Amino acid sequence: MDKVVSSAQQAVADIGPGSTIAVGGFGLCGIPSVLIGALHASGVDGLEAVSNNAGTDGWGLGILLAEGRLRRMVASYVGENKEFARQYLAGELEVELTPQGTLAERMRAGGSGIAAFFTRTGVGTQVAYGGLPWRYDPDGKVVVASPAKQVQQFGGLDYVLEEAIVADFGLVRAWKGDRHGNLVYRDSARNFNPLAAMCGRVTIAEVEHLVGPGELDPNLVHTPGAYVQRVVALTAGQAADKRIEKRTVRTKETTV
């Protein structure tokens, strides 16, 4: 089945207000920036985003955040995004901060048909007891807090029950992909992309290098095409537009 669509705009056209989107990437590495840009251009709002973080000010999910298009974030950390922090503390955005490994497993479980799982992460903390602030009011009062979670013993140790995440749409970026939706990620850009692809009911992949069926070594495929419904082939310029979240350089050493 040929899953290639003509444009990113066409690929995201049915993502409507209130949808939940799982977005691949870590910081700005491996983010589906073209699909995010198409979402921005579509004008859709009221989105709930499940992603390791919310990009930065002016790039990635940060461009949706800046215009108030996100109503809720499920993420591991705020990162370099000052607007994310401001909206959260001002009560404009609901944020469910989740331990990074737990977030990864919740997404993987959602794509594997596992409703929930037990983990040691969070035992003895507010992750288990509840009360983590999800939303503040403008005066800084907590108006929505995390609920208490079931804790159960296995082998004499306590474990916390965490529910899986299933999103309406998964948005990912791959280094290579074929017309059937099989995907290969490159180096650290692999990060959360396979998990976002798994947990989306409809997964859309932007691909830097589109190849024909049979051109990918099956042993190297990270996301099988069964998880992917739409493929967008990027132009050379789009594929090359990769930004660095925090550039650090050193002074050139003088050779004697």
CATH of residue 60: 3.40.1080.10
Residue with tokens 């925090």: 246
Is residue 69 a part of any domain in this protein?
Answer: yes
Q: Does residue 25 belong to any structural domain of this protein?
A: no
Domain annotation covers residue 145: yes
pLDDT of residue 256: 60
Taking each continuous run of H as one helix and of E as one strand, the counts in the chain are 8, 13
What number is the average pLDDT over the span 197-226? 97
Residue 228 lies inside a defined structural domain of this protein: no
- Give the total number of structural domains in the chain: 1
Give the residue among 181, 215, 184 at the shortest CA–CA distance from 2. 181
pLDDT for 16 equals 97
Digit-coded pLDDT (tens) for 159-200: 999 999 999 999 999 999 999 999 999 999 999 999 999 999
pLDDT band at residue 248 using 50, 70 and 90 as cut-offs: confident
CA-wise closest residue to 24 among 15, 16, 33: 33
> Could you tell me if residue 148 is inside a domain?
yes
Name residue, tokens 């004499």: 156
Asked whether residue 2 is assigned to any structural domain, the reply reads no
Residue 96 lies in a domain: yes
Q: Whole-model pTM?
A: 0.93
Asked if residue 167 lies in contact with residue 161, where contact means CB atoms within 8 angstroms, the answer is: no
CA nearest to 56, candidates 73, 37, 79, 30: 79
Is it the case that residue 100 has pLDDT exceeding 70? yes
Is 216 contained in some domain? no
- Under the banding of pLDDT at 50, 70 and 90, the label for residue 2 is very high
For residue 103, what are the contacts with CB-CB under 8 A and spacing of at least 6?
50, 52, 74, 75, 76, 165
Whether the pLDDT of residue 34 is over 90: the answer is yes
Structural domain including 103 reads 35-163
